[in-house]
Structure 1
Amino acid sequence: MIPTTDVVIIGAGPVGLFAIFECGMMRMKCHVVDTLDMVGGQCSALYPEKPIYDIPAYPKITAQQLINNLKEQASPFKPVYHLGSQVIALQPVEGGRWSVVLSNGTIIHGKVIIIAAGVGAFGPNRPPLANLEEYEGKTVFYYIKAREEFRDKRVVIAGGGDSAVDWAISLAEVASKVMIIHRRPKFRAAPESEARLHALAQQGIIDLIIPYQLDRLEGENGILENVIVKTLEGEEKKLEADYLLPFFGLSMNLGPIVQWGLNLERNHIAVDPSSCATNISGIFAIGDIATYPHKLKLILSGFAEAAQTAHAARALIHPGEIWHFEYSTTQGVSSLL
């Protein structure tokens, strides 16, 4: 028997998890699909220990703590998770429902679809180094799940964005030596983070290897010994290292989403900012994958979009029904279960 639900949420990152809560507050049940084998999206997969500073009421919270809290917040509404599986087809069926087909063969019928897929399927941009695969997963990593793994180790970080700078600052607290390679003095990180990086460099806590680029790796059986870097003029430098962390961003792929007839703008889904509705009735998009004029790619923006979408979705699921909006402090959660 094909399971039927009110809402199918595609993506179990922070915005998708909060959408469960908002839908629950509107008395709508959710099934949630994610390609990862865990909830949390990039927060859990890429930077679980990275601190986040712009979540209301939390001056500082790690990405994984945020995910844990969001999952707990959503749990009273008993969402059904389909993890480690991708939505491969989306088709309208009788009764104003959608048939959602998963890569593992599961089929779900839902009245509304909320796409909260972040940047879609993602993977690291890998540097073009010979024999790189020998070191990957052993001494070359694109993500950090526990910085304790690098305690008292010599770490080389390559990149000039927020991830490279933030992790250089963080790992400087535990590693014996942190070196950051960048091709130019100016970094593409938040000004405050860049200022902290240069301050630590002036104190001799972090070594700035500028202007250099990765050239090759030296080691045996996947165990790194040296990272060789070069300037554009060919000047070479050898860095003794235990680990290399290349942070060159993510390659993004919307996958089957591009075949669903949605209005796309530069690999993002265009939505109505008042409701996050797409050009197809019954399909909404929220979070980083959604775009509209003056969009801010922030988790807190995605939270607001989840609330807007839940209200708009209820009008489709229960057409003509009058819903008396109440604040959570008045309504509570237990009354909805």
Structure 2
Amino acid sequence: MSEAIIQTEVVVVGAGPAGLFQLFQLGLQGIACHLVEALPHAGGQCAELYPHKPIYDIPGIPACTGRELAAQLQEQLRPFPIEWHWGQTVQSLASLDDGRVELRTQQGLCLVARAVVLALGVGAFTPRPLKLEGVDALLNRQVFMQSHDRSAVLAQRKVVVYGGDEEAVARLLELANLPLPQRPAQLMLLHRRDVFKGSDVQLAQLQQLREANAVQVCIGQLQSLNRNEGGHLSDLGVLGADGTVFSLPLDVLLVYQGISPRLGTLEQWGLAMQQKALVVDPARFSTSLPGVYAIGDMASYPGKRKLIVCAFHEATLAAFAIAESLQQAPVLLQYTTTSTRLLQRLGRLPTHD
């Protein structure tokens, strides 16, 4: 069977504020886009590192949190038919003989585009590994790392959520609030301390579930993954506060140990770099590889400032440069207040054939 290759005009890598606004600017240009993101959701560094902290320097918005900003940027994209690829980490990037760019991910996705925009922030956020013997054989079967993928079979199963940060608490609450047919038969939160992170509302909900015995909380350090004769995960070895190891039966383990940014294979793609950032032309935000552009924290040029508002400016110039490259002609500057074409693309005016 031949490999499935997705062909498109532009691929944007990274769904942080820079990548999301890049999609908006490309949408205004009428350019078809795919988005590739290592995380299972939008927001990037904003949503992961300061989801509830206020941001005060976004134009026209007195204050918003990282997650609120990501949500509003996604809402702004609603008029455009973007193809989203979540949980995909870019493995390689290469120029083809016809001038297009081929992008491949670790998960087996292959896209060929006329242009690629790297909005990578400080790197791809990936789950911190679970350093236990035998974990590789169980990954994406009974052990899931930092995953909100609903394809995992959790209904009527014994599920353990391992972690104490906000992602772990949020996932536990999500599962506990599922309707009965989809809800796990047993739900447990495992953490080394009886201290959890989350919003006041989340922590209050967790306490209510504990008091109602709807979920169990187990305090201890995960020591081993124990399998039965058939090779299936059957129970966890947990080191308790008293220094003894006890067994915790389960069917599925959801691991939330946090994430960390990594450059991965970026340094092998043949792009000019300076201090682990991509060197770009500040007039076009093109990199040293034809057809590849970079914006946001990963882009480097004289006078660079790592601010969200600067990334929005970079995305705008990159969109114009890409549009002119694809059309092989100058792009007329138009305004969303007066342009019939832009208002039609935004769904504010009907499109006439």
TM value normalised by structure 1: 0.63
- CA distance in 1 between partners of 2:251 and 2:232 (Å): 8
- CA distance in 1 between partners of 2:92 and 2:203 (Å): 39
Spell out, residue by residue over 1:274-303, the C-alpha distance to the aligned partner (whole angstroms, 9 max, x if none): 9995898983324x867986857xxxx8xx
Give the superposition deviation at 1:219: 3.0
Does the CA-based 8 Å contact 2:169-2:202 persist in structure 1?
yes
Query: Alignment partner for residue 88 of structure 1, among 78, 93, 103?
Result: 93
Aligned to 2:222: 214
Give the 3-state SS of the residue equivalent to 2:174 in structure 1: helix
Does the CA-based 8 Å contact 1:157-1:180 persist in structure 2?
yes
Give the superposition deviation at 1:166: 0.7
Query: Alignment partner for residue 175 of structure 1, among 184, 190, 195?
Result: 184
Aligned to 1:205: 214
Does the CA-based 8 Å contact 1:10-1:117 persist in structure 2?
no
Aligned to 1:187: 196
Give the superposition deviation at 1:327: 3.5
The answer as to 2:164 corresponding to 1:160 is yes
- CA distance in 1 between partners of 2:283 and 2:207 (Å): 43
Query: Alignment partner for residue 247 of structure 1, among 246, 250, 256?
Result: 256
- CA distance in 2 between partners of 1:165 and 1:276 (Å): 43
Give the 3-state SS of the residue equivalent to 2:136 in structure 1: helix
| Change beyond 3 A, Cα 1:21–1:249 | same
Give the 3-state SS of the residue equivalent to 1:225 in structure 2: strand
Q: Letter of the 2:118 partner, please give it.
A: I
Query: Alignment partner for residue 133 of structure 1, among 113, 133, 136?
Result: 136
Aligned to 1:37: none
Aligned to 1:73: 79
Give the 3-state SS of the residue equivalent to 2:40 in structure 1: helix
- CA distance in 2 between partners of 1:57 and 1:235 (Å): 44
Gaps of 5+ in 1: 35-39, 46-51, 60-65
Q: Letter of the 1:158 partner, please give it.
A: Y
Query: Alignment partner for residue 246 of structure 2, among 209, 219, 237?
Result: 237
Select between 175-184 and 277-286 the one with higher mean Cα deviation: 277-286
Q: For 1:1-337, list aligned pairs within 5 A.
A: 8-11=10-13, 13=15, 16=19, 19-27=22-30, 29=31, 32=34, 34=36, 41-43=38-40, 54=67, 73-75=79-81, 86-89=91-94, 100-102=101-103, 110=115, 114-117=117-120, 120-121=123-124, 123-142=126-145, 143-146=147-150, 149-173=153-177, 174-210=183-219, 212-220=220-228, 221-231=230-240, 234-250=243-259, 252-258=261-267, 260-264=271-275, 283-286=293-296, 295=307, 305=311, 309-311=315-317, 313-314=319-320, 323-327=333-337, 331-333=343-345
Q: Letter of the 1:43 partner, please give it.
A: P
Does the CA-based 8 Å contact 1:180-1:207 persist in structure 2?
yes
Gaps of 5+ in 2: 1-6, 43-51, 53-64, 178-182
Q: Letter of the 1:219 partner, please give it.
A: R
Does the CA-based 8 Å contact 2:278-2:294 persist in structure 1?
no
Spell out, residue by residue over 1:61-83, the C-alpha distance to the aligned partner (whole angstroms, 9 max, x if none): xxxxx79x95x7333xx98x9x9
* Ranges of 4+ aligned residues in structure 1 off by more than 6 Å: 56-59, 104-107, 268-272, 278-282, 290-294, 334-337
TM value normalised by structure 2: 0.60
- % same residue: 22
Q: Letter of the 2:13 partner, please give it.
A: G
| Change beyond 3 A, Cα 1:231–1:90 | farther
- CA distance in 2 between partners of 1:150 and 1:314 (Å): 46
| Change beyond 3 A, Cα 1:73–1:227 | same
- CA distance in 1 between partners of 2:70 and 2:33 (Å): 29
Does the CA-based 8 Å contact 1:90-1:260 persist in structure 2?
no
RMSD: 5.1
Q: State the aligned residue count.
A: 293
Q: Letter of the 2:26 partner, please give it.
A: C
Give the superposition deviation at 1:167: 0.8
- CA distance in 2 between partners of 1:17 and 1:241 (Å): 39
Aligned to 1:48: none
- CA distance in 2 between partners of 1:240 and 1:6 (Å): 47
Give the superposition deviation at 1:213: 0.7
Q: Letter of the 2:196 partner, please give it.
A: F
- CA distance in 2 between partners of 1:131 and 1:6 (Å): 40
Give the superposition deviation at 1:155: 1.2
